[in-house]
Amino acid sequence: MKIIMLGAPGAGKGTQAKMIADKYSIPHISTGDIFRANIKNGTELGKEAKKYMDNGQLVPDELTVKILLDRVANDDCKNGYVLDGFPRTIPQAEVLDSELNKLGDKIDYAINVDVPDENIVNRMSGRRACVNCGATYHIVHIPPKKEGICDKCGNELILRDDDKPETVLKRLSVYHEQTQPLIDFYNAKNVLKTVDGTVDSAEVFGQITAILG
């Protein structure tokens, strides 16, 4: 079962991808996690990716494609995987399709978590991240016990640059221009399934499991 998660940044597709991975015992592969690990470790790839992410831009294909294809070649992906954050553009989707075809493989489902832009700006501007351990909170939905302080390690919580409203709006603009065409791409392949992402995450997951069986 090979699944792609689609949806705007902040739509909650990462949360759903983790829940799918747990339920169906397949790996959750997030390009965002790979980039963040590189950024935290100060690698050259991380430094380059950070420049784009801080400006609300998408990381270029050449920094993304090879990492992902190497990852899905691992043994733990033999029963499937959930891709979160890739592909982001039609060229990436075409490369992925082509590489999978060479292996006699294909994507089974592209799940679109649909959330209006206004909801996303409100969601993301409420996020807070720990500068030390990376734990994440939300000032409304998952507030820390003490305002501005991480429950886990006691360090300061910050609003990350890529969660600031002006950056979120820029990211949404890029998404609508570059990523939304993927909805048409996967719809044409008859693998697209759309769920309502504005409801509680458990309800969203219920919609997804009804699709996956």
Predicted confidence (pLDDT) per residue in 153-181, tens digit = 999 999 998 889 999 999 899 889 888 89
Instruction: Write the pLDDT tens digit of every residue in 93-123.
Output: 998 898 888 888 899 999 999 999 999 998 8
Q: Report, as residue numbers or ranges, the catalytic residues.
A: 13, 88, 127, 160, 171
Look at residue 26 in the predicted model and tell me its pLDDT.
96
Look at residue 133 in the predicted model and tell me its pLDDT.
93
For 89, the token pair is 């553009």
Helix (H) or strand (E) holding 63: helix 61-72
pLDDT band with cut points at 50, 70 and 90 for residue 16: very high
Residue 161 Cα to chain centre, angstroms: 17
pLDDT band with cut points at 50, 70 and 90 for residue 63: confident
The pLDDT mean for the chain works out to 90
- Kindly give the pairing relationship between strand 2-6 and strand 109-114: parallel
Indicate if the pLDDT at residue 81 is higher than 90: yes
Tell me which of 1.10.10.10, 3.40.50.300, 3.20.20.70, 3.30.450.20 is the CATH number of domain 2-212: 3.40.50.300
Look at residue 208 in the predicted model and tell me its pLDDT.
98
Instruction: Write the pLDDT tens digit of every residue in 188-206.
Output: 999 999 999 999 999 999 9
- Kindly give the pairing relationship between strand 136-138 and strand 192-196: unpaired
pLDDT band with cut points at 50, 70 and 90 for residue 82: very high
Indicate if the pLDDT at residue 66 is higher than 80: no
For 182, the token pair is 């993927």
Question: CA 92, 97, 103, 106 torsion: positive or negative?
Answer: positive
Instruction: Write the pLDDT tens digit of every residue in 21-38.
Output: 999 999 999 877 777 877
CA 185 to CA 169: how far, in whole Å? 24
Q: Is 12 left (phi over 0), alpha (psi -120 to 50) or beta?
A: left
Instruction: Write the pLDDT tens digit of every residue in 133-157.
Output: 989 999 988 999 999 999 999 999 9
